[in-house]
Amino acid sequence: MTETLFSLISTYGPTAILASAFLSCLALPIPTSLMMLAGGAFAAAGDLEIVNVMLFAYVGAVVGDQAGFAIGRHGGTRLLARLTRSTARRAVFDRAQRLIERHGGIGVFLSTWAVAPLGPWVNFAAGATGLSWLRFAISDALGEIVWVTLYVGLGFYFASNIDFLATMMGNVSGLLAAVVVAVGAALWINGALRAKHKPLQHEDA
């Protein structure tokens, strides 16, 4: 796969990274994180400018996220029903919706890099659940800075070990996602327990 990505970037340059970032934000199965790692490696070799790689990746990601938000906001229930027709997609969308309902903009921020596979569905859910556009846009813009800087930067500094790095980052992403889910569950349980005990304390008083 790495050779194919290198070929695409060699032929189309940062434009390939922009296109992959945009499309992946609409839930298409495109390995944009690997594309950014490869773009960073090309920049390290002097074939591309690091600033251009980061800028194109960032613009593609932000515009793609905005498109996903617009689909959720204006697409209507029929379009969302089509997007979540399969049981697996419905489950992912429901998780994204819960993330937005519980954490709002912070959920959007985390979805861009800490739980990136959930990101496209968070875009849809943020639009569908009525999260304000400004809150979404700010949280998303900040989160994409982290995502792009992390992957392009690592590709640049570890260009000679790009295959190993890609495998390692896949494992790290899975670990981060597990940590975020665990922390979210702990906070929810803590909140539920507090809500349960408050009436009892009130009655005793």
Contact assessment for residue 40 and residue 152, using Cβ atoms and an 8 Å cutoff: yes
CA Rg, the chain, in Å? Answer: 19
Domain that holds residue 97: 2-204
Total tally of structural domains belonging to the chain = 1
Rounded CA separation 196/174 (Å):
33
Q: What is the pLDDT of residue 196?
A: 58
Which among 155, 161, 169, 163 has a CA at the least distance from the CA of 36? Answer: 155
What are the CA-CA distances from residue 151 to residues 54, 70, 110, 154, 184 (Å)?
Answer: 9, 26, 15, 5, 25
Residue with tokens 């429901």: 94
pTM of the model: 0.78
Q: What is the pLDDT of residue 79?
A: 78
Q: What is the pLDDT of residue 162?
A: 59
Rounded CA separation 167/73 (Å):
36
Per run of 10 residues, the mean pLDDT along the chain (length 205 residues) is 77 95 93 89 92 97 97 83 86 92 93 90 93 96 96 85 57 45 48 55 46
Q: What is the pLDDT of residue 82?
A: 83
DSSP conformation letters of 58-102: HHHHHHHHHHHHHHHHHSHHHHHHHHT-SHHHHHHHHHHHHHHHH
Please name the residue ranges forming H helices in the chain.
Answer: 2-12, 14-24, 32-44, 50-74, 76-83, 87-103, 105-111, 119-128, 133-157, 162-204
